[in-house]
Amino acid sequence: MKFSDFLKTYANHPIYQSPTGSALNARSWQTEAPLRMLLNNLNEEVAENPDELVVYGGTGQAARDRGSLERIIKMLLDLDEDHSLLIQSGKPVGVVKTHPEAPRVLIANSNLVPEWANWEHFEALKARGLMMYGQMTAGSWIYIGSQGILQGTYETFAACGKTHFDGDLTGKLIVSGGLGGMGGAQPLAATMAGAVFLGADVDPKRIEKRLETRYIDKMTHSYEEARDWTLEAKDRGEKISVGLVGDIGDLLENLINDGIVPEVLTDQTSAHDPVHGYVPNTLTLDEAIRLRKDDPVKYKELSLKSMARHVGYMLELQRKGSKTFDYGNNLREFAKQGGEPNAFDFKGFVPEYIRPLFCEGKGPFRWAALSGDPEDIFTTDQALIEAFPENTHLINWLTQAKEKIAFQGLPCRICWLGMGEREKAGLIFNDLVREGKLKAPVVIGRDHLDCGSVASPYRETEGMLDGTDAVSDWPLLNLMSNTAGGATWVSFHHGGGVGMGYSQHAGMVVLVDGTERAERCIQRVLYNDPAMGIFRHHDAGYKDATKVGERFDLLI
């Protein structure tokens, strides 16, 4: 197929879709895979705003601009196995000589020297077309829709239930804000964990998308209706999720006035970006869009004040008994800047609930069926169930996922696997491809939110035992080990879900195409990647990580 015909078929802006099936468009699966995942990131079923190349998080892009995107596509179609493509903040900038087991694509997004690592400098560069925001999996081409954060959210809610409610969230109300590409996973995760969910978002289109994909059960513009639906479900011990069109601060204020104290309270608004993410409670959505363009300084001022108000209500509900935690969007820091001095009086979700999993090398292991056939995912589901019969938590997750999760774009799956398990799963998948039990190769990746891939003092590395919350040597070592190990593409980003100046993180994806080359790469990458989590947490003094490290003979 000619390049022009390929663009018309798969990248006719703003309509993007991944090729499917077993036929190659590129020279090999090593470049076909990143090409398909890039286009899948921009599929309207997956992306928030394909017209602006925004995948999720309000500003997280897959490529810097249309011209850069088309050049990336052309390079991936032509690239051979002895070269690698360099991507600098969404723009292809060169090709280097490598070898068949080296990464085919090397990506760096949004990285700035620390003194200049702030939104103001970033926005000045972006306005000149010199940079883009890569979020976590947007600019690394491994976003898989709301399912990508779904299991992590499920694991968090389940851990919260285990910690505070004897493992039973039946009849418990979870309240949160933000129902976009990341927060949209909350309602389904809550009901899968057994709870009732009430969430607010100012953009009705976001809630409508969650309805279409079966991530949420009901939608309303009426607070009273949303309140009554959820209270009735609580009383009956039923599981239901409700999306309210409106401001989360207003929702919390109304709950307080009505004397309603949710058992669990968190937030997933786009609070990492006070200008292009969060919407101040004083503005309608249309007014917010205009003010962002006309007066971003005024907009930020209003946004910070609204976050302070928002967190103030969260603190009040915490005092009344809600189990309250930050879900990693930097809401507390910006609320503090907006005038709430006690913003950090509730902790983040990682130190509260997830860090014990990180100490085992566990994290969000995800894969995509490049064939486009859902049956390939169901085949891998069953293979994992048979491979880990003792892991009842995993089996329960995979069983529910098959029943309840609607695929967005290419069929994908995610589950949390740890040291030893990831490598085993990858080799099983490679055998399935080689034996023809899958119709085409798959790719294995993960969220950048993982056990050893990120430094983020207000999220993944908050409250480390040894005080090394802000040490970003670890994600850099992760990047280098995955590059040396032979991941198919790797990435290193700045900002992620908490914003410029607050996080650095690394990503990786490895191709599973049934070959001996893939087997060698899988054995290295899916060993090294979770091992980084063990190294990092053992070094910080976590005894559980030391035990796991000793079991796998990792420690020196």
Catalytic residue numbers read: 415
User: Could you give the CA distance from residue 296 to residue 473 in angstroms, rounded to a whole number?
Assistant: 34
Both tokens of residue 84?
């690698």
Q: How many CB atoms lie within 10 A of CB 114?
A: 10
Q: Residue 199 forms beta bridges with which residues?
A: 176, 243
Q: Residue 49 forms beta bridges with which residues?
A: 54
Produce one character per residue of 539-552: b if its CB has 16 or more CB atoms within 10 Å, e if not.
bbebebbbebbeeb
Closest among 95, 118, 119 to 106, alpha carbons compared: 95
Q: How many CB atoms lie within 10 A of CB 129?
A: 12
User: Could you give the CA distance from residue 370 to residue 24 in angstroms, rounded to a whole number?
Assistant: 11
DSSP assigned state of 449: -
240: alpha, beta or left? (left if phi > 0; alpha if psi -120 to 50): beta
Q: Which of helix, strand or coil describes residue 446?
A: strand
Closest among 111, 62, 112 to 90, alpha carbons compared: 62
Produce one character per residue of 218-257: b if its CB has 16 or more CB atoms within 10 Å, e if not.
bbbeebeebbebbeebbeeeebbbbbbbbbbbbbbbbbee
The answer to whether 62 and 13 are in contact (CB under 8 A) is: no
User: Could you give the CA distance from residue 270 to residue 309 in angstroms, rounded to a whole number?
Assistant: 16
